[in-house]
Structure 1
Amino acid sequence: MTQANFQPYGLFIHTHNDLAFELSDQLGFEDEAGALAVSIFEDGPGTMHVQALFDTEAAAEAALANLSLGDEVERFITQLPDEDWVSLSQSGLPPVRAGRFFIYGQHDADKIPDDAPYTVRIEAGLAFGTGHHGTTKGCLLMLDNMISAEENPKRVLDLGCGAGILAIAAAKAFGRAVLATDIDPDAVMVTQQNADVAGVAGLIDAHIADGFNAPVLRDQQFDLIFANILAGPLMGLAPDIARALAPNGKVILSGILDELWPEVSATFEAQGLTITPQPTLSGWTSLLGVKPA
């Protein structure tokens, strides 16, 4: 769309948290109708709004049809006022500071602070993958703590990498190769593109993988694993994650609603890990897991 101002069609969906993230992922990475921007907003305990912008009503309707929503999910399509909506969707995501890390869009390139050693440019489009969500910021803060403790893991995995922000941050911080995997081929492509923009393309090895069921992960062990997914999938992957951790290895678990972290913690403790919950961020709790020597 070349016009600065136009009247896009907005697809709005109101649903529970887990489905909201799944829908935003589908619209952001999988939608062939071409969403201009996708955002996700908290809307009280347990519910969220997903907003996707399209240049035509037909494109919005096609995207909605592809989602196969149940009748209980509230949704509607409406034409929005004449505004520069793509720019607004980007400028509405302010830069994020998480310890030594500064996450920004190109529209905020002039705001990079001098005391931020690790900057990562991630453009708006899928809000869950931009660093603005409490789960991603929680992971970055834990990574910052590891740097403060002068830890330097040699083998790092970003499991379910999304836009690749954690893999890129780790590659910048540790100056070594990071393996990034995701079940979505488009997520792998976006990760590679973002790594190139960040100047660490040579350090990011991105692959399509469904959990640990992929040759690139077979018989591998890691000193650090990022697993910023959701509580349910995390608990299902607990045995595989524990096996994939090297002795003294650490896993950063995120995507966990505050009320669910005790259950996730117990699941990983049953695998022999020591779990430490981190301070809540916007209703989300991240966990640090450590495998014994």
Structure 2
Amino acid sequence: MIKSIVSPSSKAVTRQSFDDMLAATRALDPIKTAVVHPCDDASLQGALAARDEGLIIPVLVGPQARIQEEAIAAGLDLSGIEIVPTEHSHASAEKAVALVREGKVQALMKGALHTDEVMSEVVHKERGLRTERRMSHVFVLDVPRYSKPLLISDAAINIFPDLMTKADIIQNAIELGHALGVDTPKVAILSALETIYPKIPSTVEAGALCKMADRGQITGGLLDGPLAFDNAVSKDAAEAKGIISEVAGDPDILIAPDLEAGNMIAKQLIYLAGAECAGVVLGARVPVMLTSRADGVLSRVISAALAQLLVHHRVQKGVL
């Protein structure tokens, strides 16, 4: 499956985690998805590849003539695909969000426009897609030397999250872990060290978050922190420091202290460790596939798989 999607230039050793993820979608119906302003080759190819994998039914929202011109230039066939015409990117974002509110689509996929344009409509107080939970972004990485998908949050939305925002970030990531089939996701809350040290606030917040989980304020996962990155992902490092933990060395989720740290961790794994990535925004009424304009087809397809698994998980749980 993955071999047909990965670019020939990919240096990755394995894509087993993403293969397994796609296999889990095979029995599921595709979800109707508004593709926001797909006015370039990458956006259209990603949407069509996700359709061909049975993940989404794309609804293209954007300037119709421009979309069709891009498709012709790229040699892509848009026969049978619904196009909702708009004048420009801002209008595309507004219309796509309106389609969600009208119950006509079950997810959003970002196309050739800035993240801010999409998210400003998603978070709009009157016409947006807010819920009681803070929105956050989750990177899902297939790391060649790691045995399972690795979720990293938040690396794209919340710059300096406070304690309660971090609780929502964790709860969002746990929900995605459940959708991926992990009964009790293991959550490592990262800092620079593994002990509480008041001069490093992220260590104090990590301890508070673990106690919040003990008291039922965060549910569905197994939390530990603070943990430094080495003892979070390596059992040998954790044992060397005398850390006794069910999470250390085997996390499903890494929670970064802030956006800068999370973004750097994810991109270091991508560019230095050969990881492939996908991404989705959670905490809104529907999942938002928030890929970069530089991301390839594989990233867009796996992001669609995440959204499809999450939507069906919510339906099964009676949330939608």
**Smaller-chain TM-score range?**
0.3 to 0.5
Compare relative contact order (CA 8 Å, sep 6+) and give the higher one, 1 or 2.
Answer: 2
Normalised TM-score (structure 1): 0.35
Normalised TM-score (structure 2): 0.33
